[in-house]
Amino acid sequence: ARSRHQSIALEVQEGSRHFFPGRESITLGYNGSYLGPTLRVHQGDDSEVTITNTLGEDTTVHWHGLLVSGNLDGGPHQTIPAGATWRPVLPIRQRACTLWYHSHAHGRTARQVYAGLAGMLIVSDDHEKSLGLPSDYGVDDIPLILQDKQFEQGTLVLPQGMMTTMHGRRGDTLLVNGTVNPVAKVPPRLVRLRMVNGANARFFDLAFSDARIFHWIASEGGLLEKPVALRSLRLVPGERAEILVDFSNGRPATLTTGPDSSLSMMRMMTPMSGASETTVIEFIPQGTGSSSLQVPQRLHAPEPRIPSTALRRRRFELTMGMEMGMGMGNMRRDETRMSRASFGINDRAFSMDRVDERVNLGDSEIWEVTGTMMAHPFHVHGVHFQVISRNGSAPQTRDKGMKDTVLVREPVELLVHFNQPSQGAPFMYHCHILEHEDNGMMGQFTVT
């Protein structure tokens, strides 16, 4: 394996962008007005990132899914004050995977990510290169950051209020890579899509409008053992998936999403729009040139399974305020009561000054996670994990692979491996509905 030193420069900026022609929106971005460049690193690299914060407020840059020590993680303890520069050197020691980076500033994450502070981070390795997967970036290896936003007269607005806090910030307009009504030209062959759910709260239930089969090849932690043929795939906030789609018949295809399923438990108080399927992005195959690329039969060696019986267990309940649960039927009418809503994990709201859990470096543990009120995407920093049960039974297809973010609707058991030391800066675990996170549905742990 090669090792090389690499330098990346990111400037956190305020900008303006025309999502709709002639309509200006104030946004945030890295090296540009909205989102950031795709960062590409290789296993073995030492990547020095220079991040300059030109905003008038604190920010951080968190490497979501990157296995680095706590002091490099970019969580709420690695604040980059207004005008300051942070220069971590990131040792890239994990296998090929699709990651992302985003703001994690304490109490400001939801607003900063919504305004644009997110980007993709791709790790490659020699094994993956040997498989012959589509890997021509932007041609047949295409990054897709999926988001929803709210616009008024074509200008980006920031939804506010109690319902926004409860449900997470949502919008009626879908964006891919910051573009409204996106269309991608693709070669008429096998194409790899790297998808990130970069929305604050929305779940995506993705499928092609012609119901074509595609091959799911990688979860958050990298390649699966073998491809899984699917017709639809759910992506919750923070999750990634890589899929292979065959465009060799030359026919255009529309990737759609169903109605937002995260709200199902709250549907009684949420007026749902009637739409059943919404277009996410259209693909138009163009050009000629066949290719011998095929879906490989095997992708990666199986991950070792550690016997789960003797491991330490910890339990986490993602909690939303008691008043809420009892007053569900009245919620819309009773704003005062709702203003007492509270978020926490095991009934405690996040505190920067409290370490909730202490883990031994090198251990594996079983984390049992349950939710309340609605479905929550649960994310842990500095680790990858396997889902070992869902609702007391075997995990579902989409629970396969190494993960760092998982849908918690039913209780799940996670087998978590702790290989990164916190190095004086605790790691986070939290709900990836960013409004829940900012309001306290987060905890922190040390690994020593």
> Whole-angstrom Cα distance, residue 137 to residue 48?
22
Residue 275 Cβ, how far from ligand C2O at the closest point, in Å?
Answer: 28
Which of 117, 217 has the CB closer to ligand C2O? 117
CB of 361 to Cu ion, least distance (A): 19
- Interaction partner, residue 171 (ligand C2O, Cu ion, none; CB < 5-8 Å by kind): none
283: β partners: 184, 253
Q: Give the position of tokens 């909205």.
A: 34
Residue 234 · residue 216 · CB < 8 Å: no
Comparing CB distances to ligand C2O, the nearer of 64 and 300 is 64
CA 73, 365, 436, 219 dihedral sign is: positive
- The nearer residue to Cu ion, 239 or 242, going by C-beta atoms, is 239
According to DSSP, the residues that pair with 366 across neighbouring strands are 313, 415
- The option from ligand C2O, Cu ion, none interacting with 433 (CB < 5 to 8 A, set by class) reads Cu ion
Distances (CA, A) of 100 to 15, 113, 119, 237, 254: 21, 12, 6, 12, 24
User: Closest approach of Cβ 142 to ligand C2O, in Å?
Assistant: 21
- Compute the least distance from the CB of residue 165 to Cu ion, in Å: 11
Q: Which helix (H) or strand (E) covers residue 133, if one does? A: none
Q: Which residues bind Cu ion (CB under 5 A)?
A: 64, 376, 381, 431, 433, 436
End-to-end CA distance of the chain: 28
Nearest CB to ligand C2O, comparing residues 70 and 238: 238
Binding residues for ligand C2O (CB under 6 A): 62, 64, 102, 104, 238, 379, 381, 428, 430, 432
> Is the Cα dihedral 21, 22, 25, 31 positive or negative?
positive
Which helix (H) or strand (E) is 27 found in, with range? strand 23-30
Closest approach, Cβ 425 to Cu ion, in A, equals 13
Closer to ligand C2O by CB, 338 or 406: give it: 406
184 or 407: whose CB is closer to Cu ion?
Answer: 407
Q: What is the 3-state secondary structure (H, E, C) of 93-107?
A: CCCCEEEEEECCCCC
User: What amino acid occupies position 243?
Assistant: I
Report the residue number, 247 or 378, with the smaller CB distance to Cu ion: 378
Q: Which does 436 bind (CB under 5 to 8 A by kind): Cu ion, ligand C2O, none?
A: Cu ion
The Cβ of residue 326 has, within 10 Å, a number of other Cβ atoms equal to: 10
Closest separation in Å from C-beta 11 to ligand C2O: 21
Give which of 82, 123, 119, 77 is closest to 102, Cα–Cα.
119
Cα gap 24→438, rounded to integer Å: 27
**Residue 406: which of Cu ion, ligand C2O, none does it interact with, CB under 5 to 8 A by kind?**
none
Q: Which does 104 bind (CB under 5 to 8 A by kind): ligand C2O, Cu ion, none?
A: ligand C2O
Instruction: For residue 363, count other CB atoms closer than 10 A to its CB.
Output: 14
Render 359-428 in DSSP notation, one character per residue. Answer: E-TT-EEEEEEE--SS-EEEEETT-EEEEEEETTBPPPGGG-S-BSEEEESS-EEEEEE--S--TTS-EE
Cβ of residue 432: shortest distance to Cu ion, in angstroms? 8
Residues contacting 13, CB < 8 A, separation 6+: 28, 29, 30, 31, 32, 33, 54, 55
Tokens representing 24? 């200006």
| Nearest approach, Cβ of residue 370 and Cu ion (Å) | 12
Q: Which residue is nearest to Cu ion (CB)?
A: 431
Contact 298, 228 (CB under 8 A): no
Q: Which does 430 bind (CB under 5 to 8 A by kind): ligand C2O, Cu ion, none?
A: ligand C2O
Query: Nearer to ligand C2O by C-beta: 25 or 200?
Result: 200
> Which is closer to ligand C2O, CB of 64 or CB of 398?
64
Name the minimum Å distance from CB 376 to Cu ion: 3
**Residue 111 interacting entry, from Cu ion, ligand C2O, none, C-beta within 5 to 8 Å by type:** none
Pick the closer one to ligand C2O by CB: 64 or 436.
Answer: 64
Closer CB to ligand C2O, 77 or 300, in the complex: 77
- What is the number of the residue whose Cβ is closest to ligand C2O? 64
What residues have CB less than 8 Å from 157, skipping those under 6 apart? Answer: 150, 151
238, interface contact from Cu ion, ligand C2O, none, CB < 5-8 Å by kind: ligand C2O
**Distance of closest approach, residue 212 Cβ to ligand C2O, in angstroms:** 30
- Report, in Å, the least distance between residue 43 CB and ligand C2O: 21
